[in-house]
Amino acid sequence: MELQGTVKKLFDAQTFASGFQKREMVILTQEQYPQPINIEFLSDKISLLDNIKEGENVKVGINIRGREWVSPQGETKYFNSITGWRVEKVFDNGSEPTQASPSQSAAPVSNENPFAGDEDDDLPF
């Protein structure tokens, strides 16, 4: 999936006791109701943010991840996170609304009638 927007905030990299590292970026989508979306970059993907500055327009390749957690009281909760794996600067300020969209492109649609050559219609109705 991809998100496109303006970089609102870049945070410093965080390193945890286990050695795990992450860096977060907030982008503001460019749609009728702009949304601030927090995106995490993990481990080796942190370096993707080195050349990005606040205020720049970017397109970010993302994965949405979810996890389940059971509290000590037995209550189950669900959490989501958005993880970035690619960032590219966008230099044209198009006015297209930005939203999450699948990264695969759809197959081309043909407007040709597949039954155009069937003169031999043997249906009884």
Residue extents of the structural domains in the chain: 2-89
Distance between CA atoms of 45 and 67, rounded to whole angstroms? 21
Distance between CA atoms of 74 and 85, rounded to whole angstroms? 34
Between 106 and 31, where is the model more confident?
Answer: 31
What average pLDDT does the segment 15-25 reach? Answer: 94
The CATH number of the structural domain formed by 2-89 is 2.40.50.140
pLDDT recorded at residue 91: 87
pLDDT at 38 over 90: yes
33 is written with which tokens? 């109701």
Distance between CA atoms of 49 and 9, rounded to whole angstroms? 11
pLDDT recorded at residue 34: 95
pLDDT at 5 over 60: yes
pLDDT, tens digit, 9 for 90 and up, residues 74-115: 999 999 999 999 999 998 655 444 455 454 544 555 556 555
